[in-house]
Amino acid sequence: MASALVNFWNSMWESLLSSLGLGGGKEGTLLLLGLDNAGKTTLLHRLRTGDVKHFPPTDRPYQSDKFSFQGLTFQAWDVGGHEAVRHIWEDYVCECSAVLFLVDATDADRMEEAGFELDALVGEKLVEDIPIAILFNKCDLPEAISSKDICQRMNYDELVENHGADKISAFRISVLRGEGYQQAFRWVASFL
Ligand SMILES: Nc1nc2c(ncn2[C@@H]2O[C@H](COP(=O)(O)OP(=O)(O)OP(=O)(O)O)[C@@H](O)[C@H]2O)c(=O)[nH]1
Ligand SMILES: [Mg+2]
């Protein structure tokens, strides 16, 4: 009797998730990109464990185990964002289902650089059919700047033009507070 009830609730949950475009056994591989200090490793750890902790800068590619988030199953690559390792980003794009490109929303001075690096990747056509969710992170901090301002600094309109408006979208998030990336995952899920 108890297991029938559990099965009933599980199937209700699954249908709710799939009505939202989530769940249904969908799987994907994520590639976390962005400049150093954007919050990639912190996000991946939060997605896998629900916790936030401090990490040293990522100096070699890391592939996570499979983990579930919002009824979806993912594996993720975190390859590091320091200038010295950015040249390897393109080696990791072909196998991924979506790119999560993190931007530090408080680091106005480096947004142009972030936009440049993403545009270089888009220009290579390696990510042609891959959805790119740009995550403006650290929006918990008062110095986080407006999305309009970030978009201007990153030259977002050109990214949209080059990659296609249907395959690129931006979200304001705070990994620290656990806010905003849920919408990004809903959007990514619609491509899986
Ligand atoms: N305030 C705030 N700080 C954050 C947030 N997310 C990450 N951080 C901090 O930003 C710093 C860099 O985070 P990491 O996850 O190591 O950044 P990364 O993108 O992996 O950096 P690299 O490995 O060098 O490419 C750390 O001090 C984090 O605690 C957030 O949402 N809010
Ligand atoms: Mg890192």
pLDDT value at residue 30: 96
Q: Is the pLDDT of residue 3 over 80?
A: no
| 42 annotated as a binding-site residue | yes
Ligand 1 centroid to 171 CA: how many Å? 17
Residue of 33, 35, 42 to mutate, ligand 1, most atoms within 8 A of C-beta: 42
Ligand 2 centroid to 133 CA: how many Å? 18
| 91 annotated as a binding-site residue | no
Pairwise CA distance, residues 106 & 91, whole Å: 29
Domains, the chain, in order of start with CATH, read 25-189 (3.40.50.300)
Question: Using one digit for the tens of pLDDT, what is the confidence trace for 64-77?
Answer: 999 999 889 999 99
Classified as helix, coil or strand, 20 is: coil
Q: Is the pLDDT of residue 29 over 90?
A: yes
pLDDT value at residue 25: 78
Q: Is the pLDDT of residue 138 over 90?
A: yes
Give the position of tokens 């993720």: 76
Q: Is the CB of 64 under 6 A from ligand 1?
A: no
Pairwise CA distance, residues 144 & 183, whole Å: 19
Report residue 125's pLDDT band, with 50, 70 and 90 as the boundaries. confident
ipTM value greater than 0.85: yes
Distances from the Cα of 102 to the Cα of 15, 18, 19, 67, 78, angstroms: 31, 27, 28, 20, 11
What's the whole-number mean pLDDT along residues 120-131? 89
pTM score, whole prediction: 0.89
pLDDT value at residue 21: 53
Pairwise CA distance, residues 103 & 150, whole Å: 9
pLDDT value at residue 59: 92
What are 132's strand-pairing partners? 99, 168
pLDDT value at residue 126: 81
Q: Is the pLDDT of residue 7 over 90?
A: no
Q: Is the CB of 174 under 6 A from ligand 1?
A: yes
E strand segments, the chain: 27-34, 62-63, 67-69, 72-78, 98-104, 132-137, 168-172
Q: Is the pLDDT of residue 8 over 80?
A: no
Contact 188, 76 (CB under 8 A): no
